[in-house]
Structures are given as structure tokens and as C-alpha cells.
Amino acid sequence: MLKNYLKIALRNLKKSAGYTVINILGLAIGMTCCVLIALYVWDETSFDRFHDKAEQIYRLRVERYASGGESELTSTASAPMGPAIVQDFPQVEHIARISSRTYLVEQGDRRFYEEEFFWVDSTFFDVFSFKLVRGNPETALTAPFSVVLTEAMAEKYFGRADPMGQILTIEDRDYTITGIVEVAPAQSHFSYDFLGSFTTLEVFAEEPSSEWNWWSLSYHTYLLVAEGASLETLQEGLRELPSRYIGNQESVSGYRQFLYLQPLTDIHLTSHYRYELQPNSHTAYVYVFSAIAFFILLIACINFMNLSTARSAQRAQEVGLRKVLGAQKGQMIKQFLGESVFLSMLALVLALMLIQVLLPSFNQLASKELSLHYIRQAPLVLAMVGFAGLVGLIAGSYPAFVLSSFKPVEVFKGRVQSGASGVFLRKGLVVVQFGISVALIVGSLLVFEQLDFMQNKNLGFEKEQVLVLRVRNNEAVIESYEAFKDELKKQPSVLSAAFSSSIPGRDQFTNVISRQQGMNEEGQTMYILAVDYDFAETYGLEMATGRALSEDYPSDDTSAFVINEAALKALGWQAPDEALGQQLTRQFSDTREVVGVVKDFHFQSLQHSIDPIVFQIRRSWYGYVSVRIATDDVPATVAAIDGVWQAFSPGRPLEYFFLDDDYDRQYRAEQRISKIVTVFTILALFIACLGLFGLAAFTAEQRTKEIGVRKVLGASVAGIVLLLSKDFVKLVSLAFVLAVPLAYFVMNSWLDDFAYRIEISWPIFLMAGLAALGVALLTVSYQSVRAALADPVESLRYE
């Protein structure tokens, strides 16, 4: 019996080869898109779960409030907090502190700046499950001036030679290699190249320094909590820990600090605090992609069910004949359901083949390293098989239960029709398909427009043609900064240069600023940017009132502040002129006079509002040199700058980048999302049109006699095309009307996450509607024109 069912199924599929291809291809593409997105979501939600004790690891998070009520939420803690926690809370088994730095690493003639150099506690391998390939995890990070590096870095600096026990020179100090560690998995919220022993920092800090006090938040601190410990009790005790050790925090530091636990496995998708080790993703993206996967699969399933139900009525005579020959209703049901499931399984096989072909391209698009492992990801594979079977059962249910109920006498008399309900169902499904397509087109256009807005909006400063040199830890350049700048300005292609502690797009220091001198006055947490006299000129900043810091005023070096308009408002002044000549006090530092107010500019991306900034001269904080150039011959300019660099810092490689590229890196996640959404929107529209193509062909086939009669009576080709197309135009138009409110609501919610955003305008919806309508007309018109051009004689001979 099974063999007979299979033979009949293959004959029917071959008989309607065109519809079979459309059905299988549409469903296969939908499944492919769904699985690719599922792999992306699987990856995003599996971050940091590879650690053996992932559910017991928490990161310490600090909320800090100035006396004026302004908050600062950070992912970092101070150096003493971790040891105090281990001492006071027995339920905390280990802590691991991490401090990320950029250092010059040397070995022989190999010299490179390494950005992923981490200082870590000796308990690093007790907390995390990163695998030490060589060395003892208990002792590898205990001794000062010891370092562990990844296999890739070992090969980079030592080639095939054994690196264990070898010496690396890091910032002019020798370090002994005590271990080789595997590269962090792609699903880790931080990656590393070098792990230096934290005891080295303690040697550097023999004298008390600001980095080792309770309010210098410079270290990411992770806690390994004992299994079964009460997190509520631990959290309650941690919250007030600073007050227990410091006493009245505000009288000592000007801040109130509270500690909170953050689960390790939540960091990648939910943590967006200051000083993150590396950029994290967003939960919203997981929801967005999951929704896209669902809708694309829904469109594909609608295609499959639409064509299955549309073609089923043509098999009425087959049903009647088989019933006359003794076939039972149950047998007919099994036949139709089996054919449908068989078709969906063929689509699944094709989808698996497409996934293997397309996965490398998708990885490049999503900046991922995804793979489909049939054993490791068995639940996903089983879900695919189960879903394919379910789709087949649902799609085959109409022919199975409706056709199997036909009476042979009615069938042979030609009284069996598909019925209005079947037509209404197919039309409704087409509306759903194109409604989803229109919504996806609107979303894709708005994401693109928001990105274009962020990248082209006037930021309030000039970021093009600025070359940035990193000088942190380079005492030779910083101590001779004036001479260094003078030599740079002598280069014909250099317009100006400025030293600063940070640059747009990077983090800055914060401190409490108050309007009156004295620690007990209410203050505001503000960014402190150390600059030199040429910073405003180099970045093209505009003054709202007063003047910029200037070497024409020698006292600016020690007694002048410049603030931005956001700081002006935060301090309670209404007009810029009110601030001129006023005294501001920086907590635990000096009191200076406001000599100017600079117009607000976007130091961070447009996802964030403009924060208060205070500018001052402070050479010891300098970490960057911004060089504005005026040339298209970048290589020659870089070579000239490198010549100046080597004159002041011989043997040290020049490290540089362009400000516009570095600033725009803040939008890489959105750019990646935009590309992915666009690609899947196109695929969704393609799948919808594939189904529409099949339905148009079926409609034209059903109306073959009508078309022949109309042509004999003088109907034109254009008239017939219009006749066959107008119903589909109505359906797409209805889909547009229904999709607009949904698309507006979803995209408006997404745009609300941006401090600076576009306004949603009607042309976007009009473009989306016209695009969907145009594609639908092109799809339908082919079948309509083909039917209209057919020979009337052949049409009238139909059947």
C-alpha cells in the first residue's frame, strides 16, 4: 500500500511539475531563512554559557550618585571591592578582577600595540573555564611580571619556537611567559590576547594612588558564588558594602555608591553600562530577528497551503474514480496527507542543502562564526523535521478531508466546485503575505534612513580628515608635547594638532562639579576632558560665549574651565553669559573660573543624549593626539608624521587611525542589522511573489475558456491583462492598508531607543506600498500576458 501511495504521489508531482517546483522552492527558502536566523538567535542567547559554572558567576555593577542626584551606571568596580567581598561574604568562593589596557609588546624585532591585554587575578582560571593549554592554572598568574598569552599570540611573537619561559618586553619591562591559553570562544562577552598577573599592578602601586581607592571604578570584577547560596542575602549585603568600609561616602568622595550583582549570562544582551569590556548586543535584535524568521516562514507556509488547496479541486475526478473502484475515505485521507508531507520533506532536504551553501555568506553578513551541527544542535534539527511534517499535514488537510468527502455521482456530473470559502481563504492568505512584506519593507527603509541620519547629521564638530595618534604611556611624546606639535605643524599637509585625554566616540573621565567651593555643596557628575590650547580649533568647535582655552592666557593652565551648553544647564544657568566668570570646583581638586561656553556637540553617538562636559588643561591625562590634515596623499602624510614620531620616540611604532572611521564604529551593529533586515526583506518579498506567481498561473488556467471567448468577441490583450490582474491589485492594496499601522507602531518603538531620531513620514509608507504593488504586478503580469496572447482556438478546445 505504501508503495502504491508513493507511486501516485510521484505521478501527481510530475504531472504538475511547475507547481511542484514553486511549492518546494518557496517552502525551502522560507525554511532556510528561518534556520539561518535561528542559528543567529541560538548564538546570541548562548553567550558565556560554555563556562562550567556559568550560572554561579556574577559581575559586580556599581551605581554611583553625586550629591546633586546625577547617576553614573558602570560595569566596573574599584580595586578594593573584590577582596573585601571575599573577606566579608563566605558564600563568594572566588573573585576575578580584570583591567583592560593597550600596551606596546616587543620580542626581538617584533613590536606591536596590543589592545587586548588584560590584567587578571590569579583566580582567573578558578572563576572562568578558559582552557590553559600549557602551564599550571594554579600558579601561572601568581608571580609579578608573569604573562599568559594565546596560541595565536605565541605564534605571532615566537613562530614555532617554544614560548614557555621566554621573555616578552611590555612597555619597557620584561615579563616571563608562564602559560599558553586557548583563544576565548566566539560566545564570550570579552576576548583577550594577553593575561598579565594582577600582582604586577600591586607592585606598580606600592605607593597609595587614586586607582586603589574605593571610588576609582577601573576594574571589572566577577564573583563565583557558591552553589545554592542565597543571592538575595548576598545582594542585600553588597549594596551597602562601600558605606561599611568608607563610612559617610559623600563626605569622603562626594559620591554615594551601591553595588549590584549582574548574572554573567545576561551581560551580552542586556548590559550597556559605561566601560564595558567590549561592545554588547541587544535583546531587541533577538526579538526582531525572531519575528522576521517567523514571518518569512509564515509567508512560505501560506504559499505552500495556498497552492495545495488551489490545485486540489482539479483532482476531484481522481477521487470520484477511486471511490467507484472501492477506495475508502480513510485511504484517501492518508494519500493526500502523505503527498503533502512528502512534498514538505523534500523542501526540508533542499533547505538543508541551501543552508550549507549560504552559511558562509550569512556569517560574513552577520559577523558571526555560525555552523549547523546536526548532533550538537539536535533540538533545532528535530524541530525542523517536526515543523516540516506539521506544515505538510496542515497544507494537506484541505484536500484530505474535503476531497475525500466528495460523492462520485456529483463529481462525474461536474457539480463539484472549490467553493467560495476556498477562494476567500486563498485571498486572505495573500493579504497576510503581502501585509508582512509591506511591513518588512517599511522597517528596512526606516532602519536605512535612521542610519543615514546618524552618519550624516551635523555633529557639532569636524570629524573628517583627522588622524588620531595614541600616546598614552608614551612619556617621551607627552613630556615634549609642545615641541612634538610644533614639528607636526611644520609638515605641509598638517593644518593643526591637539592633545587630549579622549576623543569623540571614546569614554572619558568623570568627576563631581559644583558651583561653589567646598565638598558639601551639591554637585553634578560630569565628563572631564583634558585638552590643550588647540583642541577647539582642530575639531572646529564653536563658542556660544566667551573664549576657548588659549596660550595667550597663561593662567588658563591652572585656573580656567570651559564648559558645554549641557553642563551649563546641568549647573542651573539659563543663558551662556551667566556662567562667564563663575567659579566651579572639581571634587578633590581645584577651583577654576569659567572662561567660555562651547556649543553642544555629539561626543558620543546619536544613540545618546549630549552629556555635560568640562574642559581643562591637564597634561598628565593626555592619551591622544588629533592631527587635522589637508591632503589626499594619505600615505605620504602618514610617512611624514611617522618621521616626526620616530624623532621623539625612536623604535616605538606609530599607532594611528582616522577619527571618522573610529567614530562610525559605534554604528556597526546598526549597519549590520540594516543589511540583514534588507536581505531577508527581499527574500520575504521573493517568496510572496513566488506564491503569487503560482496562484496567477492557476487563475489563468482556470479561466482559459473565458479568456478565449473574450478574445473571440474582440477583447484586447491589455483588457484581459487588466481583468486578470485587478483582483491581485486589490489584495495587495488591502494588505498595504492593514500593514501600515502595525509597521508604524513597531518602528516608532524602535526609533524611541535613539536620543536623536528621524520622524516617520508618509513617503516611506508610500514607497513601500508602491514597491510591493510593483513587484506583485510584475509577477502577475507575466501569466496574464501569456494567457492573453494564447490562441483562442486552443483556449476553446480546453478540456
- The predicted-structure confidence for 194-209, as pLDDT tens digits, reads as follows 999 999 988 876 544 4
Tell me, what's the pLDDT at 210? 46
Could you identify the residue written with the cell 611567559?
A: 177
CA terminus-to-terminus distance, the chain: 32
Tell me, what's the pLDDT at 784? 66
Tell me, what's the pLDDT at 520? 43
Looking only at the bridges linking them, the beta strands covering 146-150 and 71-74 are: unpaired
Question: Which among 612, 423, 405 has a CA at the least distance from the CA of 515?
Answer: 612
How far lies 11's CA from each of 8, 96, 324, 333, in Å?
Answer: 5, 67, 20, 17
Tell me, what's the pLDDT at 430? 79
| Full DSSP string of 358-387 | HHHHHHHHHT------TTTTHHHHHHHHHH
CB-count exposure of residue 128 (10 Å: 0-12, 13-18, 19+): buried
Tell me, what's the pLDDT at 208? 44
Between CA 111 and CA 129 the distance in angstroms is: 30
Question: Which among 665, 501, 530 has a CA at the least distance from the CA of 589?
Answer: 530
Question: Any idea of the CA torsion for 211, 213, 215, 220, to the nearest 10 degrees?
Answer: 60
Between CA 11 and CA 4 the distance in angstroms is: 11
Between CA 496 and CA 629 the distance in angstroms is: 7
34: left (phi over 0), alpha (psi -120 to 50) or beta: alpha
Task: Report, as ranges of residue numbers, the positions in the chain whose pLDDT lies below 50.
Answer: 207-210, 420, 517-520, 798-799
Claim: this prediction has a pTM higher than 0.75:
yes
Tell me, what's the pLDDT at 51? 96
Question: Which among 507, 611, 595 has a CA at the least distance from the CA of 273?
Answer: 507
Tell me, what's the pLDDT at 194? 97
